[in-house]
Amino acid sequence: MNIVDMARASGLTVILDGRIGQQEYQSVCGSMSALQRFAEALCQHAVNQNDAARHRTAAISPRTQLRRGFK
């Protein structure tokens, strides 16, 4: 997940404020509706990550799950 790309895709403007060495400092600005879209995209990404983790866990045998501490 690239949070800057998600912000841009949601309609937020990402501005490079400065760079010191390898470190970049950025600001994000936009409308409240763009912020809402960003929040929804972030929540959806978290749900997708949890679903993927559940599918990976389900593919592991019950015996292996017990050894690894899965419930």
C-beta of residue 11 within 8 angstroms of C-beta of residue 28: no
Element (H, E) at 20: strand 13-20
> What is the rounded average pLDDT of the residues 47-58?
73
What is this structure's pTM?
A: 0.64
The Cα 10–Cα 4 span in angstroms is 10
Q: Per-residue confidence at 50, pLDDT binned at 50, 70, 90?
A: confident
Q: Per-residue confidence at 63, pLDDT binned at 50, 70, 90?
A: low
Q: Per-residue confidence at 68, pLDDT binned at 50, 70, 90?
A: low
